[in-house]
Structure 1
C-alpha cells in the first residue's frame, strides 16, 4: 500500500509508548510471491517442469491454478485446512519509509511435508533448492535430500537472521550449490563461525549475487568467475530479481551448461524481472533474452543457450 503522506508527521516522540495510528492509503497492489513460487515460476517460463514444495493456505486455489498454467507442478504443496498462505503486508510513505508485517500463516506447517513422498511421486528429483521457509522445514528437507542422495542448493536468504548457528551449518555443509547476496555472505560467516575457505571446502560452488555488479562464483578448487550484470534499459521494481537469477542459473545447470553460462542466463532473466512490476508479472521472449545475452556476453554465449530455449514463454 502507498500512503500519500509522511509517517514522521504522525509519530509523536512523547507518545511512542502508546501508538494508535491509522494511515489512509491511496493505492493497494496485491501480488503473488514467495521465493519458492518465484523461482518455480521462472523455471516454468524457461520451459522446465519444476516441482513446488511448500505449505500454502486455504486461499491457494487461484494462485495454484496460475502457477500450473506457468508449468509448475503444485501437487506437493501442502494446503492448510485452517491457515492463510504466508504474506507480507507493507505500507510505504512519500519518503520511501516503510512499515511492514510478515504473517507466516501456513508456512508453520511446512515441516510436516515429507520430501521422500515427492521424490517417489515424480520418479526422482534432480536437485532440491532449500530456500527461506520455516527453519525446521529447511533443516528437515536438507537432511532428507542428503539421505536420498539428491544434490542440494542451499539458499537461506532472509531466514539467516533467524536460523541458529547449528541450523545454518547443517544447511550449508554438503550443499552442491550455495546462494547468497553480499550482505548474506557476511551474515552466513558470522552464523556458521566458518571462514570463506571453510565454507568453500563444504560446498560445490558458492554463488554470490552483487546487484548491478553482477555475480561472483567460487569453488574450493580455486575456480573464480566474475560475471557482469546484463545492463537494464528500464528499472521498475527490484523485488524478485534474486529469485529470477536462481531460476535462470538452475535452468542452465539442468541443461548441462557450464557455470559461466548459468550465471549469464541468470543475470539476463534477472534483468527481465527488474524491468517489470512484481515478481511474476513477466513473459520470456527467447529472441529478446538471447539478444540481451549476446549484447552482454557475446554471440557464443547466446548461441550455446539458444538451443535450450525452445520451450520458453
Structure 2
C-alpha cells in the first residue's frame, strides 16, 4: 500500500520543569501573564508530525512517502529517516528558511507549554501531489497532517480532484483554522483523526453535529487518552479499543503521531480497523515511555508479548506475520 504522509518536519527542543504550571497561573491575571520556568533538562530530538508518523510506519516495515518542506539543515535528519525505511524523495528543500522548530516544556503533571516556528514549512503550499503519484505509479492514501494551513487545503483539494483517498489529521491546526477551512479539510475524508478535545472543537467551528460529520467521512477515529480510542466507520457500530498500559511515563510528546503510525501500518497490512487501533495504541505506549518522538526501539518478541498482554493472544497472532521486519 502506497501511503504518502504530508505535514510538518521539525526539530524538537524538549525541556522538563520539575513543578506544576498550574501553581504559577493566576486566573484573574491571565491577560497580563509574564512567566518563565526553570527547566531541569533539555533534549534536542528529531520531530514534526509527518516525520514522526512516517518514522513509525517505517519501523513497522512499511515504506511511507514523506511529503513536506525543510531547510538545507535537513541533511542528517534525512539520512536518519531513509535508514529507517522512509522515502524522502518528495521533500521540498527551501533555499532561504530553516527546518521548522518545536520548543516544548513539560511539567510534572505532563502538562505542556509549547511554541512552534514554521520556517520552511510555510513553503509546503507549493508542493503538488501529482508528481509524487506519478513517481510511484499511484497513491493509495494521502495523510494530510498538521502543516502550513494552505498546504493542507491544497493537498486535500488535490486528493479530491485526482480521486485519491485521504486521511484528514488537522490536530493542532484546528485552533488556527476557521470553520470553512476545517469543513474543506475534512469533507469527504476516508479517515478523520482527532483527539476528544479536537473532535469537539471541529464540531463547534464547522457547525456540524457528530452525525453530520459521520456522514461526511468514512471512518472517524477519536483518541481519548487513558480512555482509549473509538473507531466509528460509516454503517458499522463504533469499536472501542483500550490503551496498552505503559511501563513508565517519560514524555507524552509524539504519542498521537505514534498512534497514527501504528493505525496506518495496520491499514497497510490489510487489518480491520479494530486491529489497526490496537497496533496504534501499542506503538503510542512505546513513545510515552521515551523522551523524544523517534527514540524508541521495537523488538519482535517484546512487542508481541506486550500486545498479547493488552489485547489477547488471538490479536497477537493476527499481527505476528507482519512483524518479520523487527529484530528478535
User: By the TM > 0.5 criterion, same fold?
Assistant: yes
Say yes or no: does 1:302 pair with 2:316.
Answer: yes
- Equivalences for 1:78-117 in 2 at 5 Å? 78-91=92-105, 100-117=114-131
Distance 2:39 2:306 in 1: 38
What is the CA-CA distance between 1:92 and the residue it aligns to? 5.9
**CA deviation profile, 1:178-197 (whole Å, cap 9, x unmatched):** 00000000001012110000
TM-score, normalising length: structure 1: 0.91
Aligned to 2:237: 223
Aligned to 1:183: 197
Tell me, what secondary structure is at the counterpart of 1:278? coil
What is the CA-CA distance between 1:123 and the residue it aligns to? 1.3
What is the CA-CA distance between 1:212 and the residue it aligns to? 1.2
What is the CA-CA distance between 1:5 and the residue it aligns to? 9.0
Tell me, what secondary structure is at the counterpart of 1:117? helix
Tell me, what secondary structure is at the counterpart of 2:305? helix
Aligned to 1:250: 264
Which stretch shows the higher mean deviation, 219-228 or 45-54? 219-228
Aligned to 1:154: 168
What is the CA-CA distance between 1:219 and the residue it aligns to? 2.2
What is the CA-CA distance between 1:81 and the residue it aligns to? 0.5
Q: What is the aligned-residue RMSD (CA, Å)? A: 2.5
Change (3 A) 1:153 1:98: closer
Distance 1:265 1:128 in 2: 20
What is the CA-CA distance between 1:66 and the residue it aligns to? 0.5
Distance 1:79 1:26 in 2: 34
- Equivalences for 1:194-205 in 2 at 5 Å? 194-205=208-219
Say yes or no: does 1:265 pair with 2:279.
Answer: yes
Say yes or no: does 1:285 pair with 2:279.
Answer: no
Structure 1: which 5+ residue stretches go unaligned?
A: none
Distance 1:306 1:94 in 2: 36
Aligned to 1:134: 148
Distance 1:114 1:179 in 2: 23
2:110·2:251 contact (CA, 8 Å) conserved in 1?
no
What is the CA-CA distance between 1:95 and the residue it aligns to? 8.8
Question: Could you tell me which of 68, 83, 88 is aligned with 1:54?
Answer: 68
Distance 1:53 1:239 in 2: 21
Distance 2:119 2:278 in 1: 36
TM-score, normalising length: structure 2: 0.87
1:197·1:220 contact (CA, 8 Å) conserved in 2?
no
